[in-house]
Homo-oligomer: A and B are copies of this chain.
Amino acid sequence: MEKFKRNERLAVMAQVLTSAPNRIFTLSHFCEMFGAAKSTVSEDTAILAETMKKFGLGTLETVTGAAGGMRYRPMLQQGAGRRFVEEVCEMLRAPGRMLPGGYLYFSDILSDPQLVASMGRLFAADFYDSGADFVLTMETKGIPVAMMTAEALHLPLVIARHSSKVYEGSAVNINYVSGGGRIETMSLSRRAVREGSTALIVDDFMRDGGTARGMLSLLSEFNVHCCGACFVFATEKSSVSLPVPTHALMLLDEIRIDEPLQVRPADWII
């Protein structure tokens, strides 16, 4: 078998680990890939971990035990998260985003792969060790950021619907009170969720927490524990109202037409 140089091994390991964040790769996986001894790949891993740390690209950890190996967790450098969220706030303050009726146009931001990938990494960073088995979102606008959070955590994504769909099989439906005070329905396929597992909620916007509380109540129907809730935006008043650890990236004041938008990064983002 061809021998590969350390240069090559490190580049390949960096590519493979970056492509599959938070997934555990055994040492043997790379030993076979390179036809190299465990001691060699062990040394490679140590160098790579040190390099990732030095450049603030995240952590490469060794996981011990039967299902052990190494695991890469992307992380933003100290300060980079805050700079990123400040930039998004700046984009939101751009003139012309205010719509009739006091709505803000941000669909473009919520479907930009690079922006939502960074948001997903920010959310994931605080929930790597939460024991979450899946990420839950409510259709539609939160799907991209929930997807990217799930990818960063190496977890499946489960999508609650506004109504049960024939293509999702039997489902549990609940009613909840939405932001506007209306009664709405939320539906989750029975097949999508395992009883007794743990969920992380990710959604785009929390106005007064109605939808989020709906998701919590839906999860309790499945005996699913919720370890936290992440939102791209929350109104200032809503940001502490859920019974689970809650992270919003940006806090918004009530939107007033003809006044500048009041939006700021949340305090937890460093």
Chain A residues with CB under 8 Å of chain B are 6-8, 10-16, 18-20, 33, 47-48, 51-52, 54-55, 57, 74, 99-101, 103-108, 111-114, 116-117, 139-140, 143-144, 147-148, 150-151, 154-159, 161, 166-169, 189, 191-192
Q: List 15 A-B contacts (CB under 8 A).
A: A7-B7, A7-B10, A8-B10, A11-B13, A15-B55, A99-B169, A101-B166, A104-B167, A106-B167, A107-B168, A111-B147, A117-B151, A140-B140, A140-B159, A143-B143
**Which applies to chain A's interface (DSSP): helix, strand, loop or mixed?**
helix
Cβ of A55: which chain B residues have Cβ within 8 Å of it?
A: 8, 12, 15, 33
Cβ of A139: which chain B residues have Cβ within 8 Å of it?
A: 139-140
Cβ of A166: which chain B residues have Cβ within 8 Å of it?
A: 99-101, 103
Cβ of A6: which chain B residues have Cβ within 8 Å of it?
A: 7
- Partner of A7 from B15, B47, B57, B143 at Cβ < 8 Å: B47
Return the chain B residue nearest A16 by Cβ: B57
Taken together as a complex, chains A and B put the C-alpha atoms of A33 and B104 apart, in Å, by: 37
Cβ of A20: which chain B residues have Cβ within 8 Å of it?
A: 114
Cβ of A113: which chain B residues have Cβ within 8 Å of it?
A: 147-148, 150-151, 154-157
- Chain B nearest CB, measured from A91 CB (Å): 13
Question: A52 to B191, Cβ gap below 8 A?
Answer: no
Cβ of A15: which chain B residues have Cβ within 8 Å of it?
A: 14-15, 18, 52, 55, 57
Given A18-B18, A74-B19, A167-B103, verify A11-B111 contact (CB < 8 Å).
no
- Chain B nearest CB, measured from A35 CB (Å): 12
Question: A108 to B7, Cβ gap below 8 A?
Answer: no
Question: A108 to B191, Cβ gap below 8 A?
Answer: yes
- Chain B nearest CB, measured from A89 CB (Å): 18
Taken together as a complex, chains A and B put the C-alpha atoms of A13 and B157 apart, in Å, by: 30
Cβ of A191: which chain B residues have Cβ within 8 Å of it?
A: 105, 107-108
Cβ of A167: which chain B residues have Cβ within 8 Å of it?
A: 99, 103-107
